[in-house]
Amino acid sequence: MDLRSQLDQQRQGQQLDNHMDQFNLLNCSLFFLLFFIFLKLLRVKKVNLPPSPPKLPILGNLHQLGRYPHRSLQELSKKYGPLVFLRLGLIPTLVVSSADIVREIFKNHDISFSNRPKSTAANLFFYGYKDVGFSPYGEYWRGLKKICTLELLSQRRIHEFQYVREEEVEILVNKVHKASSSGLSVNLSELITSTSNNIVSRCIFGEKFEDENGKSRFGELTRRMAKLVVAFSVGDFYPAFGWIDNITGLIGQLKETSRALDTFLEQLIEEHKTKKRDDFQGDREDFVDILLQVQQKDDLGFEFTRESLKSVLEDMFIAGTDTTASVLEWAIAELARNPTVMKKAQQEIREVVGKKLKIDSDDIVKMEYLRSVIKESLRVHPPAPLLLPRETSEMVKLGGYCIPSKTRVFFNVWAIQRDPKIWENPEEFIPERFMNNPVDFKGQGCHFLPFGGGRRICPGMNFAFASIEYVLANLLHSFDWKLPDDSMMAQDVDMSEDMGLALIKKHPLVLKPVTCST
């Protein structure tokens, strides 16, 4: 046998050994995973848990979530009841699909249900859970929420930033006017997202980051972040096997995006600290300015670090843009499918505004039917159909069952807001159900929870609602809206969903604007 043949045999032997090593590693990992699950099951005490569908080995009930978990979980609740106990991988999980149970939680057990489960993505993006959304319940979270509520998202701040909404909506209306004068249809999904990004960006950072094509540098980063936050992480469901996320490349993507966001925010913060504002801008502070001032206070009662500041900025931008754009997109889509409702809303707006060229804040207050349209859109298409998950901090007795500590909890808002026991004709879009109706979106009734409820209700709901009202009022005031194809019927408007951080339309909303002469 010549030397080349010997070398070939050695290489083949080494390759075979490598394959065997990988095979043995996989087998060992699988063995330890099954052994770990077996030990966990042995340690589980027999308690009176809520009903549960059958589980698969290793997966538990993960396979039953489907592409649209809010819909899949609604079907499970119809079969097993308002409380369903699942095991997602190794994670005990409770799904709540009843307004009565939600009311019991918020009234009697809110603190026990106010924690957040740990998440691989949230840990990396928010500097170890330093933000409002994902930080554990406690003194730090209470202090942070107080800052957001009083310093950033108060009614006073909403009023102060009205000029931003007015300027950006004027740009939006001018773009639509240009399309209308040429008889063109517009991609409203794209325009609404751009306007929402610009409003939030200017409120938070004092500027927008659009290029000549209307693309936002920071927006692109946060969209990448939004996709990664909801990406499947093995470590989130099998904590002992989080190392697999390194092999799949998820950790690398999370770290790369996190570093890019951090670099962007650091540069902005330094610019805010060093730049000198001229007299015209002196009284127009943005969120970065406000938080830098807060950081200098000695009586906060907790450590508000640089990482805390950056985490809050990320929270504000992601929650503000996704929610606002999603609600507006669904609301206009529903109006396009219901022309009678659209005409009624337009008639109210145009009567209130009269011959004025501009809608102001005092006008918006008088538009009760417009608010009913928005509320109905929030009912039928809640931006977060399952809200952010919570986690029990102790064992709780709920609805006659025992809920173990460290149980992940999902409130299926989508199912509750379509419950036929509460809502008449729940699948239909009927804004009139909110007319002369005291229910608001603050979660107090427990059957209308688009922004959550209890201690962990979204603190930015009023800020978002102000933008939603103003953008929608202007689009309905200035234009009549038609389907892009004259042969299309109203019911042809595509309403299919896509899941991300917010529930969005799967396909862009394209309509033809006709400038209103009044």
Could you tell me the sign of the dihedral formed by the alpha carbons of 101, 107, 108, 113, in that order? positive
Euclidean distance between CA atoms 311 and 315, whole angstroms: 6
Judge contact between 116 and 129, C-beta under 8 A.
Answer: yes
Q: Which two tokens stand for residue 85?
A: 């106990």
Annotated binding site: 458
Q: Are strands 408-411 and 91-96 parallel, antiparallel or unpaired?
A: parallel
Other Cβ atoms less than 10 A from the Cβ of 244: the count is: 15
Euclidean distance between CA atoms 71 and 384, whole angstroms: 13
Q: Which two tokens stand for residue 162?
A: 């009205």
Residue whose tokens read 């913060």: 269
Euclidean distance between CA atoms 50 and 95, whole angstroms: 10
Burial 149-160 (b: 16+ CB within 10 A, else e): eebbbeeebbee
User: Alpha carbon 387 to chain centroid distance?
Assistant: 8
Nearby residues of 307 by Cβ (< 8 Å), 6 or more positions away: 127, 128, 130
Judge contact between 422 and 99, C-beta under 8 A.
Answer: yes
Other Cβ atoms less than 10 A from the Cβ of 126: the count is: 24
Euclidean distance between CA atoms 146 and 281, whole angstroms: 27
Candidates 190, 199, 211, 116; CA nearest to 165 is 199
DSSP string computed for 334-401: HHHH-HHHHHHHHHHHHHHHTT-SS--HHHHHT-HHHHHHHHHHHHHS-SSTT-S-EE-SS-EEETTE
Euclidean distance between CA atoms 426 and 43, whole angstroms: 43
β-sheet bridge partners, residue 216: 210
Annotated binding site for heme: 458
Candidates 465, 100, 510; CA nearest to 319 is 465
**Which 3 state secondary structure label does DSSP give 21?**
helix
Residue 280 identity: F
Candidates 420, 423, 416, 419; CA nearest to 386 is 416
Q: Which two tokens stand for residue 268?
A: 């902005």
**Which 3 state secondary structure label does DSSP give 244?**
helix
Sheet with 479-482: strands ordered across: 186-187, 510-515, 479-482
Euclidean distance between CA atoms 81 and 97, whole angstroms: 8
